Structure 1
Amino acid sequence: MDTRRTFIKQGSLLGVAGIINPLEIFAQPKLKETSKEKTKWSDGSRMVVSISMQFESGGQPENAESPFPQNLEAGYKDLPAETWYQYGYKEGIPRMLDNWDKLGIKVTSHMVGTAVLKNPDLAKEVVDRGHEAAAHGMNWSSQYNLSYEDEKKFIKDGAEAIKKTTGFNPVGYNANWLRRGENTLDILQELGFKYHIDDLSRDEPFIIQVKNKDFVVVPYTLRCNDILLIEGKSFSTDQFFNQVKAEFDQLYEESEFKKRQLSISFHDRIGGSPQMVKTAYDLVRYIQKHKGVSFKRKDEIAEMTLFDKLTIKD
């Protein structure tokens, strides 16, 4: 107590003498101002949006999962479910392609090899209209449980189906339900791929080491994915719109000082429905009103990431 009284008394005397303002004695110390350095993409974008368009229908196994109850007796073919998948290439992809043209954006289409071979003209049209063709396996079977050589063949066959059909050499990869195996990345590096998307750990692309070489991770999404929200959780289109909008709004705020990427995913038989295409149009138009936002294919993102000195390396 004596020390505090002495301190106050001395402060009062100094104030009377005009040396200091006594109120300043108890003022909060000024914090050192810290300036955040604005982090932008190497092309000057404030934020990047990446849209996926899954080209899968036609490559599904017999009696694949669908909106219909899974109560079909063994030995019978699920004929209505087949028509649900057919919608993907008869209506879904063509409608989405027109929508992307209307919006003036390019997307990445993850293509299943057998789906491409079943609908080669449509697959080629995707590429001819300026979109990226990325590999998505030869079919819908799992690959994480394959031997090194079998998995390598599985990936290579799917990529070659795309190249033979469209003329586009895929450099990006997406495993079925993101479930890659322990050998997948080594195989992708060996086959000349530049990136994969089977990773949910960041909201910006980053570089990892695979076989002692740089390999890009362009993060994917489940939060802004129609197969999870619309088909899996029965979201309405309004709910889907608001969820993606909220994701964008937060990332856009963060993008003032951090490199941020928003991923949105549409599947041919789901995202290609009239209601979802209208919702996608409204979403993209909303996003396009924000300054500094660019829409990029994932191969473009991977290329920028490889040559950006500010890229995170894990």
Structure 2
Amino acid sequence: MDASRDLIGYGGQTPDILWPNGSRLAVSLVVNFEEGAERQVGDGDAVSEPMGEVMSVVAPGTRDMGQEQIFAYGMRAGFWRFMDVLSHYEFLATFFCCGQAVERAPELAKQITDQGHEAACHGWRWRPQADYQTAEEEAADLDRAVAAIEAATRRKPVGFFCRGSESVWTRSLLAERGFLYTSNSFDDDLPYADIDHPDLLVVPYALDSNDMKFFHPNGFVRSRDMEDYVEDALATLLREAEAGQSRLLNIGFHLRICGRPARFQAVWNILKLLKRHEDRIWVATREDIARAFLAARS
């Protein structure tokens, strides 16, 4: 049994946090920027990523150009929809950026920070860090990803999130490199300190209010499904905030998923909903949320 697993957390006594605008509910909009960093036989991988609009029927080991194009849509078309809608509603988001994706489209990555959004590190490839066999191998790819993001955006990323799970070394590697926060955590509604790495804040993420569920059989089908789900989450957290409990709501999007026209309506309507409640919530990048949390706790 792993005694390090913390099932208690704040124990129902959450810290009294007022976000910078005086509200108790912070909202983090996340856009995943990972297209071009997924597994593809055409890029030299043994197999291509099977999960897309449909499960791939191409034999493992054979180049799947259909899947390549499904991913490419996110960069070629979906990206611009997200940039436009965020500008329209005047919200700042955090983009989880894979290093290889940034290296392939540096001009798009530069647009992210040029418009005031945050470019966080999403690993070098769209893969779990838990797959790495050694800390040295993981460190080399982490450094490669940071360098690609910094070269494109002129800003060194301070936040991290990878697909699936961190490795047992990931947080030590992040702390050694001076990262402000990690988001590979699905276990709370507020940031918290990592006990083993006191200078590394954990800013939890969520996979339920996330458009990846359009690609799962138990998930969303119509754009309205995601809109309803986020609206219910917002209602619950606003009710708790009004009772004096500080909270964080995470909403996750992907360029190739909600960047498609029918699903993009969910993005538009969710941001419209947030705008309607702007006097009761604080929509901010994860970097700003992390810094505000630390300032409030100091």
Displacement of 1:39 after TM fit? Answer: 5.1
Distance, in Å, in 1 between the alignment partners of 2:121 and 2:98 is 7
Structure 2 CA distance for partners of 1:53 and 1:194, relative to 1, 3 Å: same
Q: Confirm whether residue 104 of structure 1 aligns to residue 90 of structure 2.
A: yes
Equivalent runs, 1:133-148 vs 2, <5 Å: 133-144=119-130, 145-148=132-135
Match of 1:9 in 2: none
Q: Which amino acid aligns with 2:150?
A: K
Task: Give the Cα–Cα distance (whole angstroms) in 1 for the partners of residues 55 and 276 of structure 2.
Answer: 42
User: Where does residue 266 of structure 1 map in the other structure?
Assistant: 253
Q: Which moved more, 1:52-61 or 1:284-293?
A: 284-293
Asked if the contact 1:189/1:210 (under 8 Å) is kept, the reply is no
Say which of 18, 30, 45 aligns to 2:23: 45
Distance 1:214 1:237, change over 3 A: same
Give the alignment partner of residue 292 of structure 1, picking from 264, 280, 286: 280
| Closer/same/farther in 2, CA of residues 54 and 103 from structure 1, 3 Å limit | same
- Give, in whole Å, the separation in 2 of the partners of 1:281 and 1:141: 29
The answer to whether the 8 A contact 1:226-1:270 is kept is yes
* Residues 180 and 200 in structure 2, CA contact (< 8 A), matched pair in contact too: yes
1:150 counterpart = 2:134: no
The CA distance in 2 between the partners of 1:93 and 1:146, in whole Å, is: 33
Q: Distance in 2 between matches of 1:269 and 1:136?
A: 16
TM-score by length of 1: 0.82
How does 1:72-87 map onto structure 2 within 5 Å?
72-87=58-73
Match of 1:263, SS state, is strand
What is the CA deviation profile of residues 99-124 of structure 1, one whole-angstrom value per residue up to 9, with x for unaligned ones? 00001000000101111111111111
Cα RMSD (Å) of the superposition?
A: 1.7
> What is the letter of the counterpart of residue 201 of structure 2?
V
Distance 1:93 1:170 in 2: 20
Residue 287 (structure 2) pairs with residue 303 (structure 1): no
Native 8 Å contact 2:175 2:199 kept in 1: no
Which runs of no fewer than 5 residues in structure 1 stay unpaired?
A: 1-36
Contact 1:99 1:277 in 2 (8 A): no
| 1:128-179 superposed Cα distances (whole Å, 9 cap, x missing partner) | 11100000111124322331111111211111110011111100000122x0
On the 8 A contact 1:68/1:81 being kept in 2, the answer is no
CA distance in 2 between counterparts of 1:146 and 1:176 reads 16
The alpha-carbon deviation at position 81 of structure 1 amounts to 1.3
Partner of 1:15: none
CA contact (8 A) 1:224 1:263 kept: yes
Aligned length: 271
**Percent identity over paired residues:** 28
Q: Which amino acid aligns with 2:285?
A: R
**215, 221, 230: which one pairs with 2:214?**
230
Give the conservation status (yes or no) of the 8 Å contact 2:17–2:296: no
Deviates more, 1:115-124 or 1:230-239: 230-239
C-alpha deviation, 1:274, in angstroms = 2.0
* Structure possessing the higher radius of gyration over alpha carbons: 1
SS of residue paired to 1:156:
helix
Say whether residues 1:92 and 2:78 are aligned partners: yes
The counterpart of 2:200, out of the listed 215, 218, 225, is 215
- Aligned pair partner of 2:103 in 108, 117, 120: 117
Secondary structure class of the residue paired with 2:186: coil
Query: Whole-Å Cα distance in 1 between the matches of residues 18 and 122 of structure 2?
Result: 30
Mind listing any 5+ residue stretches in structure 2 that lack a counterpart?
A: 1-14, 41-47
CA shift, 1:38, in A, is 7.3
Given that 1:207 and 1:305 are in contact with CA atoms closer than 8 Å, whether structure 2 keeps it comes out as no
